[in-house]
């Protein structure tokens, strides 16, 4: 792996070296490394690009890293990864994709991740997207995440896109079973002429299921963002979605929340706020000696932390 | 020493020019200076003009003889002016430790923060990593606001109604904060307040009304007049 790919790997997965535990590293469409453990198996799909990750029931405190890096300009790929998480397992899954585009052609990665989380299993899923390179070619990333939570299962998804992705359409669909809960935390920053579209659909199918969707974003310069969330309560459940955006410069942000209750005991809440940085926040930090630009950076970094 | 020379400030209100401050001349070089007066008398405007948040319509501001009228908020802060807002600002995602570090101009250590927060009656262990957001009460925010001024340690500190909303914490402690600040920095502290107990520690009291200085002097000179104006309603005090 070259220095560019190693830098991407560090950005998206925080990896300086080969990770402990199970991993599968994909570089420019090829497998660049894989490790399995006694409890976690990774198998290449035969019918299409991608892998199946099988985590045995009862696996505790193990992690799986599946980073993807693209440094070849013009490469376009769709990758299908399926995660099967056995009953009572408790694992951390770190995905992430970095694109370095130094050329003039569009580089594109579409990752389709499906999670089948069995009874009472717990998953922490971290996904980071990052782009670099000064070529004129676009860096495009379209992640799709499909989540199936069985009774009592729990999945927490942290998804972050802070830099360098020109265009993204992020689709997340979930089915939440009885007593299961889903937590999604999304952080996005766009600048230049980038566009980011987020689309969540969560079906709350089981009694006492719960979902919390929190999106925080900053749109700078001429970038555009669209946040759409749909929560459908088909049983007694608690659903909460929150979209909080800072708009700057000439940017454009839309938030479209949708709540549907098909059960009298479905309790659903949506909060959305879009606004510029409050003048008094800038002023306060300036009275502490920061310049306006420094104050703005502090506020944005804190907001997306 | 801070000097205000002929400071005027007017603002537009429903397309009509309203005079908020009129020809204010002041020399601020005492330990504690209190500015008091009825609501709308221009007290907060005066503080904002000193901090650079508002620009005077006319007049000059001098800090240690240097004309700072044209300087920005940031430049004035760097020259040693601090301003504790009447209504503290909330920040999503910024912690107490980060704000105090910005105020101190360096990465504040646990020991630094413990020292500062304990002065305002907060335990660093409970607050250091808290976000300065809506999860904090008005009283907590107000104390953190005061803590930022302590962390800065500048020669001119302005507090806009520091007592407002201070819960579970005594005036005595607040007054001790001011005294300690002065002992350590030997600067001037300007406090906008209505509170008799705070006015009582002032070396000089400035009474503003309708944007003008009505009276200026020691507490012995000013307090009798103050106690005369705005006497609380008897029906209410009897009930209390």
CA distance B174 to B170: 7
DSSP state at residue A293 = H
Burial degree of A188 (CB within 10 A; 0-12, 13-18, 19+): buried
Q: Is the pLDDT of residue A225 over 60?
A: yes
- Closest C-alpha to B207, from B26, B73, B59: B26
ipTM of the complex: 0.92
**Chain B nearest-CA residue for A291:** B74
Element counts in chain A: helices (H) and strands (E): 3, 21
User: Residue A287 is nearest to which of B73, B93, B98, comparing CB atoms?
Assistant: B73
Kindly list the distances between the CA atom of residue B209 and the CA atoms of A50, B41, B46, B225, B230, in Å, as whole numbers in the listed order: 75, 5, 12, 13, 12
Kindly determine whether residue B72 and residue A281, on different chains, have CB atoms separated by under 8 Å: no
CA dihedral B212, B217, B218, B220 (to 10 degrees): -90
pTM above 0.95, yes or no: no
Tokens read off for A269: 């809440």
Identify the weakest region by mean pLDDT among B78-82, B157-161, B196-200. B196-200
B53-89, pLDDT tens digit by residue?
Answer: 999 999 999 999 999 999 999 999 999 999 999 999 9
**Chain B nearest-CA residue for A304:** B93
User: Residue B93 is nearest to which of A291, A292, A305, comparing CB atoms?
Assistant: A305
B212-228, pLDDT tens digit by residue?
Answer: 999 999 988 888 877 76
pLDDT of residue B234: 65
- Closest C-alpha to B147, from B176, B118, B167, B126: B118
CB-facing half-sphere around the CA of A62: CA atoms within 13 A: 24
Domain boundaries defined on chain B: 31-58+72-239
Kindly determine whether residue A287 and residue B82, on different chains, have CB atoms separated by under 8 Å: yes
CATH code for the structural domain at B31-58+72-239: 3.40.50.300
CA distance A283 to chain B (A): 7
């Amino acid at each position: 792996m070259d220095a560019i790919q190693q830098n991407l790997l560090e950005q998206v997965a925080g990896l300086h070296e080969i990770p402990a535990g199970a991993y599968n590293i994909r570089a420019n469409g090829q497998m660049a490394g894989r490790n399995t453990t006694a409890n976690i198996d990774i198998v290449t799909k035969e019918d299409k690009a991608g892998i199946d990750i099988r985590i045995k029931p009862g696996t505790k405190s193990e992690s799986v890293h599946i980073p993807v890096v693209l440094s070849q300009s013009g490469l376009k790929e769709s990758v299908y990864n399926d995660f099967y998480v056995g009953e009572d397992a408790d694992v951390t899954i770190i995905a992430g994709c970095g694109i370095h585009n130094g050329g003039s052609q569009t580089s594109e990665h579409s990752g389709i991740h499906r999670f089948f989380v069995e009874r009472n299993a717990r998953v922490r899923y971290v996904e980071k997207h990052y782009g670099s390179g000064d070529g004129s070619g676009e860096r495009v990333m379209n992640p799709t995440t499909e989540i199936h939570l069985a009774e009592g299962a729990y999945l927490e998804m942290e998804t972050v896109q802070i830099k360098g992705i020109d265009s993204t359409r992020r689709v997340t669909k979930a089915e939440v079973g009885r007593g299961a809960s889903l937590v999604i935390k999304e952080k996005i920053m766009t600048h230049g002429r980038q566009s980011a579209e987020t689309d969540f659909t969560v079906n709350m199918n089981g009694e006492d299921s719960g979902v919390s969707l929190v999106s925080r974003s900053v749109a700078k310069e001429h970038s555009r963002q669209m946040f759409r969330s749909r929560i459908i309560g088909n049983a007694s459940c608690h659903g909460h979605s929150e979209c909080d955006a800072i708009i700057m410069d000439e940017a454009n942000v839309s938030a479209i929340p949708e709540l549907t209750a098909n059960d009298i005991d479905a309790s659903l809440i949506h909060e959305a706020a879009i606004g510029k940085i409050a003048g008094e926040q800038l002023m306060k930090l300036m009275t502490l000696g920061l310049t306006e630009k420094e104050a703005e950076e502090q506020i944005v970094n804190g907001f997306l932390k | 020493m801070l000097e205000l020379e002929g400071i005027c400030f007017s603002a537009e209100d429903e397309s009509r020019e309203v005079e908020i401050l009129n020809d204010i001349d002041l020399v601020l070089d005492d330990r504690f200076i209190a500015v008091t007066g009825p609501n709308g008398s221009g007290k907060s405007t005066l503080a904002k003009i000193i901090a650079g948040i508002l620009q005077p319509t006319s007049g000059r501001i001098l800090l240690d003889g240097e004309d700072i009228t044209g300087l920005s908020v940031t430049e004035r802060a760097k020259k040693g002016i601090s301003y504790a807002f009447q209504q503290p600002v909330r920040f999503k995602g910024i912690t107490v430790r980060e704000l105090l570090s910005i105020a101190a101009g360096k990465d504040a250590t646990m020991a630094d923060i413990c020292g500062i927060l304990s002065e305002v009656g907060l335990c660093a262990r409970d607050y250091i990593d808290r976000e300065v957001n809506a999860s904090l009460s008005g009283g907590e925010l107000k104390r953190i606001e005061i803590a930022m001024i302590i962390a800065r340690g500048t020669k001119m500190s302005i507090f806009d109604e520091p007592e407002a909303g201070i819960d579970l914490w005594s005036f005595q402690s607040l007054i001790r904060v001011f005294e300690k600040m002065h002992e350590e920095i030997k600067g001037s502290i300007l406090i906008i307040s209505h509170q008799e107990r705070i006015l009582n520690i002032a070396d000089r009291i400035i009474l503003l009304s309708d944007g003008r200085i009505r009276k200026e002097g020691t507490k012995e000179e000013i307090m009798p007049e103050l106690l005369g104006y705005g006497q609380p309603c008897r029906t209410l005090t009897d009930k209390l």
